[in-house]
Amino acid sequence: MIIIMLGAQGTGKGTVAGILSKETGMPQVSTGDIFRKNINDKTKLGVEADKYISKGNLVPDDITVPMVEDRLTWDDAKNGVILDGFPRTIEQAEKLDAILEKMGKKVDLVVNLVTPREEIIDRMVTRRICSNKNCKAGYNTKLNPPKVEGICDKCGSPLIQREDDSDPEAINRRLEIYEEKTSPLVKYYENKGVLQTENVSLSINRMGADVARDLLEQIRQRN
């Protein structure tokens, strides 16, 4: 099953994808995480990608698309994947369709997370991740704080803020890019009949974990 998580930064895509992955065994393929790991490891791909990511811009398709195409061929992806952060443009969506078609697969479900903009910005600013690149657990200092401030519950490593979350210019740039380049994907997948929109907001007391629980129910019914 191919699931895509759609939604602006800070809507909880990673949280929902992480729960779905844990419960279904399908890997969470986060292009942002793959880039950050490469940046950390100072690989050639990481050095190149960082030029764009640090400014809040999209990494070009000639780097991003082959990276995803390769990831889809890994053994753990044979029963499906949860794509988190890809596709981000209509061009990427079309390229993904072509890649999946060659593999005899298709996009089965696109989960579109929607959150009010004020909440999004607040969540990006309060988001923290584990600095241990093999753990990378996610926290939020307001909504999901660790037991000990600044320390990962799972592995005890220090928590850090993503560089692009601490720079207001990069945050705004990413939200602008989302509106301009990624939001047209809502219509693209709606037309294909695979879109499911989910509101995630404190104001309706519905967070990522609630959405994930309902989605798991649906996925189990499909299988």
- Contacts with ligand AMP by CB under 6 A lie at 9, 31-32, 35, 52-53, 56-59, 64, 85-86, 88, 92, 164, 174
Closest CB to ligand AMP among 58 and 160? 58
Catalytic one of 37, 105, 133, 173 = 173
Please indicate whether residue 123 is annotated as part of the active site.
Answer: no
Catalytic one of 36, 95, 127, 174 = 127
Please indicate whether residue 88 is annotated as part of the active site.
Answer: yes
Q: Give the shortest CB-148-to-ligand AMP separation in angstroms.
A: 25
Burial pattern 5-28, b for ≥16 Cβ within 10 A else e, equals bbbbbbbbbbbbbbbbbeebebbb
Closest residue to bound ligand AMP by CB: 32
Closest CB to ligand AMP among 26 and 96? 96
Please indicate whether residue 173 is annotated as part of the active site.
Answer: yes
For 178, residues 6+ apart whose C-beta sits below 8 A from its C-beta are 8, 9
Catalytic one of 13, 36, 95, 174 = 13
Please indicate whether residue 13 is annotated as part of the active site.
Answer: yes
Closest CB to ligand AMP among 6 and 59? 59
Which residues is 30 bridged to in the sheet?
84
Catalytic one of 88, 128, 136, 174 = 88
Closest CB to ligand AMP among 60 and 158? 60
Q: Give the shortest CB-188-to-ligand AMP separation in angstroms.
A: 14
Residue numbers annotated as active site: 13, 88, 127, 162, 173
